[in-house]
Chain A
Amino acid sequence: MTINWAQVLFNSVVTGSFYLIGAVGITLTYGLSNFPNFAHAELITSGAFIGYMVAEQLGLGIPVALVISFLCTGIVGLLCYRCIFQPLAKKGATIIHLMVASIALGFILRHSIGAVWSWEPLYFTSTWRAFTVGPLRVTWLWLGLIFAALSLATAMHFVLVKTKIGKAIRATSSNPELALASGINIDKVIWVTWFIGAGLAGIAGIFRGADTQIWPMTGWDAILPIFAVAVLGGIGNFYGAIAAAFIIGLAENIGVVGLTILGLSTTYRIGIAFLILIITLIVRPQGLAMLFRRT
């Protein structure tokens, strides 16, 4: 069997793009609020369902769905923080309390979505014609996903480096007390971050839903590699997350090729993300962050 490596590489970029858009929220909110938000999975799911409602039930198409889903999921994420995590943190909840609360919140959201829309999978009816470019097979959906990830990376870079709010996010993430002392409104910075992170989760949800299916577990199905990306990239480190997303995407896609050649089940592909995660935690718990220290 001759492996089409160009396609494997391209598929890795598609996988990595989804992981990146999904992981930005986790890594930034973890960096600012100091706990892993497991309900992020349900923000991805919410985004997919909101997108489905707008694109299919209201018939407004995917581009409009992406915008509305970003805004609505962003608001949901912000409300989650404002109404649950912030009050808990103010009452002295530790990382464990907040993490457990996020798992519980995820559970409630997941089953509420299931109760409203049912557990039967839904599908976007828009289809994307695949076409061939040289050795590659591509669809507009995949190109759209890669484009979204690239624009996100560019926009976030610009925001973090050039704008006031971006500098405030970085300042708050590295030293909240000092940021407060410098006159930065920490609360506002955290709210904006939660809104953007959750909104991006919503966008990731639409892409995932269009590529596979939409059901109450859509986000949960993908949350483990997304967490692996956040940890590998270094918590709170956006640039690390970009590198990590593509490393995990590549590892998974090459892993599937390897597993198939070895005659093993591709069930183990998720194990590859985990293996990278565990090795990172043992060897380099700070993730790739050190490589991007300058930022």
Chain B
Amino acid sequence: MCLSKPLIFVRSVSALDKIKNWIKSHIPTQRRLVQLYAALLYNAHLKGYITGNIYTGAVKNLCVPGFNCYSCPGAVGACPLGALQNAVAASGSRAPTYVLGVLLLYGLIFGRTVCGWLCPVGLMQELLHKIPTVKIRKNFVTRILSWLKYVILAVFVIIIPFLYSPQSYPVPAFCKYICPEGTFGGAIGLLANPVNFDKFSMLGILFTRKFVIMLIIIGLCIFIYRAFCRFICPLGAIYGLFAKVCVLGVKVEAPKCTDCGRCVRECPMDIRRAGDHECIHCGKCIDVCPTKAISFKAGRIILRGPQIDAVPEKKRRVRKLRLGAWAAALVLLVFALWFFNKPAAAPEKPEPAPAETVAVSETQAETTPETEAAVEPAVPVGFEAGMRAPDFAVPLYPELQETFRLSDHRGKTVVINFWATWCTPCCNELPHFDELYRKYPEDIAMIAIHSSLVTEDVPGYLGKLDYRMPFGLDESGDVIAAFNGSTMLPQTVVVDANGIITYNAVGSVTYEKLEKLAAEAAVD
């Protein structure tokens, strides 16, 4: 007589098996691990999420291959698409050879392997698609819609920035109107930190629109596999142009291919054949090809394919190479995490500033005499509203011989604008400042101070436009730092006739707002 197992025991075993099977079937694949690695490497500046600041080191000279907003607190490299739009926008003064060369290099080496293996946005789309909803499969309509990304590339990334380049007015149209990564990684990434809660005042119609667009794209990605990648992403469109010449990726041996179409059926992307411009080289087709014609190659070297799997020695060799590559990659990741998150060297304690002068631009430091300040000594010097504005002196364009000194304009309302030629909202609002300056020349002193970076084009830029207000140069960056400015432009400061700051904020201003601020400062 055999004893039957207690029912509870049978049920719990079955549930345990189910959990075990679930875990087994969800072990990340090699590709998933590479995607996670790339996402972490591109965003290795983890302390940025804690401090609420972006990384500003020299490594940002380099573009990462995949889609990653450089305004994200974690980003350590430049976004290739953002860099391309800005390069096209600046093509009036400088040929965009650097960015084009970098894209050509990435396209030639990786092609759309970037999309399948090295793009954080691709990873996010695949994870979103795992949400168990009804799915919309690919069909002939989605294949036609996949050409939409080329239209977006042509219009938003190339044509619009190019059309505004003669006016020296940078318009990164895709970033500004469509890009969901900027909204998610940049805006939400920064604003989620309490340190940046004051930036909520900058949100308006632009954020509202971009947020809704981001939600639509998220929804599409949940229901349609890689919807952003297939229909919208201009970077995928660029890399797709290199499908036939890229070194790394899925390759089909033509003599073995019988056109059975199984690879096309298996593939979730809108390919016509494996390895074409829609293929993201994920390798799902390799195992289903009945004639073993498909493999993942780097040039002539087969990295994955039936030719490797069939020969145990080759398989072992490739496995060793893979382990070696992972070891090197992990060392690089650990180094990157240490490098981008090491504590910054503590700045030398500055000598207490004299009461009158805090920030003087380098070119005038030796020649400009200090002045007496005639304000209440009880009001501390600082950058917040209600504090005494730190005195400064900046050389004036075009010759940089004359100087604008804040203390020379005591008795008048002073409006200070920090701007840069490469900053679109800065260029957009300069006419409002100039209009205010022309309307109240006796009552308002004004200075638009260009930041220290990329200044050679400023005289040319100003020469094209008929502004009357004075423009200065903050060569050392000390002046903007004295007003607590840093990586965000434009910044506007209003100082009343007694030298007290009444307004200091980052963000665009309209003419009406400027007039109101000036009126409030005059009343004070």
A binds B: no
Binding site for B on A (CB under 8 A): none
Binding site for A on B (CB under 8 A): none
